[in-house]
Every structure is written in structure tokens, then in C-alpha cells.
């Protein structure tokens, strides 16, 4: 018997976990972009505008990653 597909779980506003995407790492909702990648870019000195353009996410998505990391 087949199991029904699992849905992504929203663990914070704009951040989801899905065992089928990026081995269950927290990602930006609707993308395959891991939160950790955005945070690494910020730590390296990149600006939110630059990160959003490079990874195809919004600046609000980048801020959601920051809020998630601060929890």
C-alpha cells in the first residue's frame, strides 16, 4: 500500500521543511533555497537585495530567514 505524499510543514512564516526537498533542511517556502545558504551569504557581507536577486527569492524571504535564525 502506498502512502499519500507528505506536504511541506511550515515551521515559521515563509520557512518550510519537507523531507523530499534538501534532505529536510529548512527552505524558503515555494523554493528549494535552504535558509542556511541565505544566512551564509548574509554572514559573508552580502546585502538582502543582492541575495534576493542571486537566489530568486524576495527580500522578505531573506528577512524571514533572519527571523527564523533568531528564534
CATH value at residue 38: 1.10.10.10
Question: Is residue 55 in some structural domain?
Answer: yes
Q: Across the chain, which distance is largest between two alpha carbons, in Å?
A: 50
Identify the H or E element spanning 49. Answer: helix 48-55
15 has a pLDDT exceeding 90: yes
Total domains present in the chain: 1
pLDDT tens per residue, range 29-63: 999 999 999 999 999 999 999 999 999 999 999 99
Within a 10 A sphere around the Cβ of 62, how many other Cβ atoms?
Answer: 25
Question: Is residue 63 in some structural domain?
Answer: yes
3-state secondary structure of 48: helix
pLDDT at position 2: 76
pTM score: 0.88
Domain coverage including residue 34: 9-70
Angle between helices 59-70 and 35-43 (to 10 degrees): 90
4 has a pLDDT exceeding 90: no
Place of cell 524571514: 64
Amino acid at each position: 500500500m502506498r502512502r499519500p505524499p507528505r506536504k511541506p510543514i511550515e515551521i515559521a512564516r515563509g520557512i518550510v521543511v519537507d523531507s523530499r526537498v534538501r534532505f529536510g533542511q529548512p527552505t524558503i517556502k515555494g523554493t528549494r533555497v535552504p535558509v542556511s545558504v541565505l544566512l551564509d551569504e548574509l554572514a559573508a557581507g552580502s546585502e538582502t537585495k543582492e541575495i534576493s536577486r542571486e537566489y530568486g527569492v524576495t527580500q522578505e524571504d531573506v528577512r524571514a530567514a533572519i527571523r527564523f535564525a533568531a528564534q
